[in-house]
Structure 1
Amino acid sequence: GDCRRYIVCAGTRKIEQSCPNGFQWNSLDATCTVPLTDAKCSHSVGLTKAHGGVVSSKCPAQLDRCPLETNPAEEVILLPHPADCRKFYACVSTVPIELHCPKGLYWDHGACRCDFERPSGQCVADGSPWKVKHRIRVRETEDDTTTTTETPILQSGARGLKALSSILLLIGTLALNH
């Protein structure tokens, strides 16, 4: 199976991501780690039709906001965060939803994934790396690991919109051999 892959959810969209080469998803630490043995992944989730709805992602270099014409049921556009190199945005329709890279990783827009290499230039991560200010609850089920992250959703432009929204962040390791 492919122990590098995991799922991040933005709203109701499941977005497949992968750990950097040489690392695998560790659901206990909720990040990418060096595999301890050549054994099969622990807490693996089979990529089956029952887990349908996984969409591909794209990271266009020329975009700095969510495009008006997209089909989020098929493909989610990912954008870099302008200030914090540990974060990125997923466009669900035209609304950008802020997501966080796993602990210890930085967003690499060119590779369209979170990676260990810190990007050059300014980065809010300096000084206080990965001090999570929101609560994370992990719930194990028969099929997967669910992590609920409470974080504010970006203003969608509607006047008076001040609501904070919970984003369901579903992370699981995908194994192709199920």
Structure 2
Amino acid sequence: MPQLISISLFVVFFGANTLADPIACDNPNNKVQLQSVSSSCNRFLVCVLNTGTEIACPNGLYFDQNDGKCDKPEKVLCYKSDDEENCHPACVGDAENVAHNEKCEKYISCVNGCDGTMKTCPAGLYFNPILLECDTPDHAECLLNICADNADEKWIIVGSINSCRRYYFCFGKTVIPQNCAYGTFFDPTTLRCELDSVTNPCDVNRLPTPPDSVIELCKPDAELEYIPHPDDRTVYFRCLNGNLTVRQCPPGLVFDNRLQQCNFPGAVV
């Protein structure tokens, strides 16, 4: 049976998502219903008033329809897709770097939406799941810490400090990440996604394009590698199969070419 949750704040939650693309679902009342997604063991649908939002469990976890929660795969009866059967569970889809679900300093580096390698940030840093970088703990927004101070059985909404489109739903200590639709931003005063405007812009940082010297280093048959910017220590490029993606380290950090990660400047040799 689908899991039902009676909580008034979920009305606010779905009000905040009305500007995103809705998913039709069968639940006409105002109680929240959690439904499994037939195409994936990792995802579930949060449904209320016949409108749903698809959410992914934290990396490596599957949605348990009976208990209405994400749990370890060995505890959940689910028929996996071919990709879920053969690939790292955190890397199925278009994932690049994915936060570890139990350790703030660890993450999974994904290649081609399938293969995954566990990595650890340099000492003193946590993985930032929004910037996809190692970052200082006060800025990293580790999912394990966002709802840590919330009371059990209480719902709250928390805005991101790294993205104006990102916010979190906390139910007790459980966190559910959400994104506003493009062209909108999360307003912490109304707890809703509002249309972007001149007075409330959602800033987008324009990172530098790769110079010719970097383009020449990224070969079509290249396995995953990271190439530092020749002039800017905070910028580097992710190269895979000839495709380059620009990345920038969080404030106060620089790219450490030896570790292939962002790090404190004093620790880079």
Output the TM-score relative to the length of structure 1.
0.40
Larger % of helix: which? 2
Output the TM-score relative to the length of structure 2.
0.28
Larger radius of gyration: 2
